[in-house]
Structure 1
């Protein structure tokens, strides 16, 4: 039975990787909560951060296509360094909002309402570029994505095919799935913005 080929790659390989990508995209992680942070500021900032994430994802795919997976096997300290840098960056992003949210939640309801309105009035504190850059850095320093592209992607690339081209094609599959999910999340956040911005919910996020 002939194998269906899509842009030089078996359709079964594309479908198999799409299944893996869907599971990874739907599993909550740093990118999910980062997107919520910016989408709650403004929906367009959520879109910007998602776009930044997709740029880094294509970067991960390109690295896989260039054979960086073999380099990381030889020098595992590089991957560990990425994980540590990612953790520090997430700590930086999360610590300030956490302290603010706990302060509001522990205050009187009247003061919390005033402070929340004050925060809402500063909705322009994040620019489109800032949101884009934060999303790009988050995905670039996310070890989960590094594992997906540098360890799980290579088996889906047929032997003898153009390694870089195949990797970029699989990266495109992930970006389509991931971006669609993040846009749905941005839409939900925009509709539920008042609930998400209550101090108690802020602490939990």
Structure 2
């Protein structure tokens, strides 16, 4: 009976991977800022956004395992096209947040989908995983890469969940209607800035 590829992961190598992953995850980036902006608006929305980003990471892991992530390098313009779509989507979310600033509606059901699309429409994540995961897989193949990607996703879920809760806790301390409108506008501005950054890079 063959030994599963994940068993071939050296404990020291795996520990180094976890350390590197945690360092990268806690470094502020588009995913963190997105979850933060959603958490400022609503706790459930922030948590769902964190879950969506986590699903996006699993999606990119699957692309690497299937060998599809390499298409971003091989197909001319593919990476830029997906980046533009991602930037436009973030701008759309930012404008929607600005329009609804101070309103009572909190579209929690959209948080999971939004978080997934924000992450999935960022080809830089796929290219990063394409370079990052195989180096720690130690020749373990797709199963080892999937295990590493799953670990990265789990760590991300914990961290971004805490970010969402912390953002909402801070927002709840400021309960004035004028303050809530300001927070919604900040959230929308963050999303617009992220979208503009993707469009211009």
- Written as runs of structure 1 = structure 2, the 5 A alignment for 1:100-111 is none
- Written as runs of structure 1 = structure 2, the 5 A alignment for 1:102-141 is 116=102, 119=103, 122=104, 124-127=105-108, 129-141=109-121
Alignment partners' CA distance in 1, 2:61 and 2:68:
10
- Written as runs of structure 1 = structure 2, the 5 A alignment for 1:37-186 is 37-98=37-98, 116=102, 119=103, 122=104, 124-127=105-108, 129-159=109-139, 161=140, 163-186=141-164
Determine whether 1:26 maps to 2:9: no
Shift of 1:95: 3.0
Shift of 1:189: 1.3
Question: Per the alignment, do residues 91 and 201 of structure 1 end up closer, same or farther by CA in structure 2, a change over 3 Å counting?
Answer: closer
Alignment partners' CA distance in 2, 1:144 and 1:17:
19
Cα RMSD over matched residues?
2.6
Question: Per the alignment, do residues 201 and 49 of structure 1 end up closer, same or farther by CA in structure 2, a change over 3 Å counting?
Answer: closer
Determine whether 1:199 maps to 2:179: no
TM-score, structure 1 length as denominator?
0.74
Alignment-derived partner of residue 113 in structure 1: none
Alignment partners' CA distance in 1, 2:150 and 2:63:
14
**4+ residue runs over 4 A deviation:** 98-101
State how many pairs are aligned: 179
Shift of 1:27: 2.2
TM-score, structure 2 length as denominator?
0.76
Alignment partners' CA distance in 1, 2:44 and 2:128:
28
Larger Rg: 1
